Structure 1
């Protein structure tokens, strides 16, 4: 009996050992194949991220946009990162998407394949890999599995002095009104890149003039400060361009882009938690604390308001200037001055004195939507604003009013917040970002103008010249991964 029991136990042990071996093999399969799959997916995501960033970086290397360079850079990154891959030869794609010709992924060797997709503002890389398993096939499972990852990067650094977004009617969303009204488009000293104007519709200088580089120009061609680009230029407006535009890089004919530009969608910088009531500065000099203002900021009677570094969001009435509104300058931080709240004037002067002024539009009941404004008053006003990279180099941010397309219906629609009148001085080194606003600027003043204007429409009027100084170093900086 003892012998029989011993043999039974030995049989049970054999079964247990066999079962344990199967469990251990399963654990080994999960550990080895699962770990390798995780590492492969991680490497794949890193490669896709790098390719998307490389492709996005080259979106605005030239205009008209050529996606060839973006695709080549993205493919170079992928094939130098993923073992066993090679760039197809030849490889000079011009289409927005690189695939196998039928919409599927393009093989680049080593079990890898890709789909690369470009838009005017984004670049996307989707990478596939047929991942081989090591242990799983021994146990009857599939020998490989197809995995994929996607990365998308954006580059919304639009290389134009002015971008007018209004669409879809054939409307001159850049207009010059008055005689003689002039628009002088120039570049900051040493700046590279062209600048110029991009219109989603039409450009009409009317009886005014547009100069590139110098108002002393009187011949077409030979300039270096950009061109006029209009997606839907009317025959009438083209006639005005032919007689009123001088010294562009090309003859005065409007250049026709292949597509309209979308709103880059710059995010609104967030103010601090501080909240202040409205403020009127009517004499002397006062430092203004950043934060949210529940009512208007008014600078009048030749007074000076100095904006301390930060975000100024004006919730009601807007900003009205008949004095001086500026950012800090050398000497401001040497002695403390009065402020409108509990904040301290930085001393010494910080390296970044940049601000962004944000205005919340509102309906005034007349379909014009100009209840809240950013307004300067003629020859008694002076604006000098330095931007900050912290706020994407935007100096003036006009928020998009909810339901503006159905409420602000006068003309081609849009709010009417920005009103810079003639005779004063304004030097806004950053951008005015007002994607749903009809910006109005009058000539005859001093200053360097604005680094960049992105607006629904722009209207230049008066009997003087409006100067716009394009500086690529001061463009809204918006690059990076978004997916």
Structure 2
């Protein structure tokens, strides 16, 4: 059958209509692809900016003393602009900004909501919310995208609202020395005896100093801030009965129980102090699990070099000879003997890269199946000490000349020594003694400590006393502390070595 010319023209017209509809559909898909891809990239940029802003704001919120909320807000805004608008001048946050600060940019198409929640005694957080009115540029060209986005009273047409948010958990208590006793009222949590006893607090920039749940008494000892006159020079005590009352003293110098020591700068208090209570709650950080084997015999290092590998040690580790060296490979060590470590001479240290591979004729302890051939990137270790009772010095350094050098690992919350509780708080299983708590750590004699991580013993009464001893530690978390004799506790505080969780949680 021969198709008429009319029929052919009609079919051709239908084909043109179908072709036109197909072109429109394909164009629509391309528009969706273009806008969708652009939205994805924009969301990614916003999320990166929110993450960076939350971390920067959370870190700045813990700078002490916190004189103004504008400090963390400015730090967060700087990072947001650096990620979203590189090269653009960052606006200045007003000094009177509150805990929540909201601002806009680029004619209201961007909105930033910054919140510093540092009144929570359990954990401090910093929240960044970024809202953006995204224009459908490609869709507008073909007549689509009639939605609107309203941000802070500004309406943007042909736009959709995008949002990114991030919350950072800040280092809740950024102090070099933390003393937690709050059960024996009006007890001096820090007691210094001996005219040559020294406590040196290297403040780590904007963080450091000391905080106690009861008073601290320098006695006839000396306390120094190094450097002196920076915002990390914090000396704060919470008195439950007498003294300064339940108000923390934030100063560039010091503030104690009815006295001012050390004399660093004028005793100038700064407000606001945003926490609604000054008591530091009792911490509960997880104890890393031991993965190595168990070694039962006692170990006496009386000369030569000994190589130890991680695991559970049920016997006492003794070192008495000045010529002996104990090298500990990275990992988790748990000592369970009533007297776990007694050191009166020699050197005990963490392994370094040059200690790999282990010498063929070396004395290797508990190293079966452990890698001693090549050094890992993380050489940090943690020593866990089980308290025997309320009075036994489980970790004892006495007499002689002992050198101890350990570096921590972020895998173990940057804790070098973890002293286990005898019983839970409150009470700690030692309510019959004063000031409650155990007495695991007892360091005296001419020892030299280079502990870069934390002494974490929230229920332990730590004793540092020695003749000319120099105890370099990163941070001390204890129930109470006594510093006596001619010893010096020199806390080279490093905020990066906090034993507190930090980072993004949302």
TM-score by length of 2: 0.71
State the 1:57 CA deviation. 4.7
State the 1:63 CA deviation. 2.5
1:150/1:18 CA distance change after superposition, 3 Å: same
Any conservation in 2 of the 1:231–1:258 contact (CA below 8 Å)?
no
Taking the aligned partners of 1:256 and 1:34, their CA distance within structure 2 comes to: 46
Q: Does 1:212 align with 2:230?
A: no
1:262/1:81 CA distance change after superposition, 3 Å: farther
Instruction: Give the gaps of 5 or more residues in structure 1.
Output: 100-105, 215-220
Taking the aligned partners of 1:395 and 1:184, their CA distance within structure 2 comes to: 23
Counterpart of 1:217 in structure 2 is: none
State the 1:42 CA deviation. 1.3
Q: Does 1:439 align with 2:461?
A: yes
Counterpart of 2:36 in structure 1 is: 34
**Superposition pairs for residues 187-206 of structure 1, below 5 Å?**
187=201, 195-199=208-212, 201-205=213-217
Show CA shifts across 1:41-91 (max 9, x none): 111122223323433453455424543222223223334543598755663
Show CA shifts across 1:226-273 (max 9, x none): 4521244642588994469444545599x99653457898786787x5
* Aligned residue among 228, 233, 238 for 2:235: 228
1:256/1:429 CA distance change after superposition, 3 Å: farther
**Superposition pairs for residues 48-447 of structure 1, below 5 Å?**
48-64=50-66, 66-83=68-85, 87=90, 91-99=94-102, 106-110=103-107, 111-119=109-117, 122-136=125-139, 138-139=143-144, 142=147, 143-153=158-168, 156=171, 160-165=175-180, 172=187, 174-176=189-191, 184-187=198-201, 195-199=208-212, 201-205=213-217, 208-213=219-224, 226-232=233-239, 234-236=241-243, 241-242=257-258, 245-250=261-266, 258-259=274-275, 260=278, 274-278=292-296, 280-282=298-300, 283-300=302-319, 302=321, 304=324, 306-314=326-334, 316-317=336-337, 319-324=340-345, 326-327=348-349, 337-342=362-367, 355-359=380-384, 361=386, 374-379=394-399, 382-388=402-408, 394=414, 396-398=416-418, 404-405=424-425, 408-411=428-431, 416=438, 418-423=440-445, 425-434=447-456, 436-447=458-469
Taking the aligned partners of 2:465 and 2:9, their CA distance within structure 1 comes to: 107
State the 1:162 CA deviation. 0.5
Counterpart of 2:153 in structure 1 is: none
Secondary structure of the residue aligned to 2:130 is strand
Taking the aligned partners of 2:491 and 2:417, their CA distance within structure 1 comes to: 18
Secondary structure of the residue aligned to 1:416 is coil
Taking the aligned partners of 1:47 and 1:130, their CA distance within structure 2 comes to: 16
Any conservation in 2 of the 1:59–1:67 contact (CA below 8 Å)?
yes
Counterpart of 2:485 in structure 1 is: 464
Taking the aligned partners of 1:264 and 1:393, their CA distance within structure 2 comes to: 13
Any conservation in 1 of the 2:236–2:256 contact (CA below 8 Å)?
no
Taking the aligned partners of 1:22 and 1:429, their CA distance within structure 2 comes to: 70
Taking the aligned partners of 1:264 and 1:66, their CA distance within structure 2 comes to: 27
State the 1:18 CA deviation. 4.5
State the 1:21 CA deviation. 3.3
Show CA shifts across 1:129-177 (max 9, x none): 1111134452465222211112344553966431234569966472428
Secondary structure of the residue aligned to 2:490 is strand
Secondary structure of the residue aligned to 1:156 is coil
Taking the aligned partners of 1:423 and 1:378, their CA distance within structure 2 comes to: 5
Any conservation in 1 of the 2:381–2:409 contact (CA below 8 Å)?
no
1:148/1:194 CA distance change after superposition, 3 Å: closer
Taking the aligned partners of 1:417 and 1:298, their CA distance within structure 2 comes to: 18
State the 1:418 CA deviation. 3.5
Any conservation in 2 of the 1:444–1:466 contact (CA below 8 Å)?
yes
Taking the aligned partners of 1:353 and 1:148, their CA distance within structure 2 comes to: 38
Taking the aligned partners of 1:295 and 1:123, their CA distance within structure 2 comes to: 44
Taking the aligned partners of 1:115 and 1:395, their CA distance within structure 2 comes to: 35
Taking the aligned partners of 2:183 and 2:90, their CA distance within structure 1 comes to: 41
Instruction: Give the gaps of 5 or more residues in structure 2.
Output: 119-123, 148-157, 246-254
State the 1:474 CA deviation. 8.2
1:471/1:151 CA distance change after superposition, 3 Å: same
Taking the aligned partners of 1:445 and 1:384, their CA distance within structure 2 comes to: 16
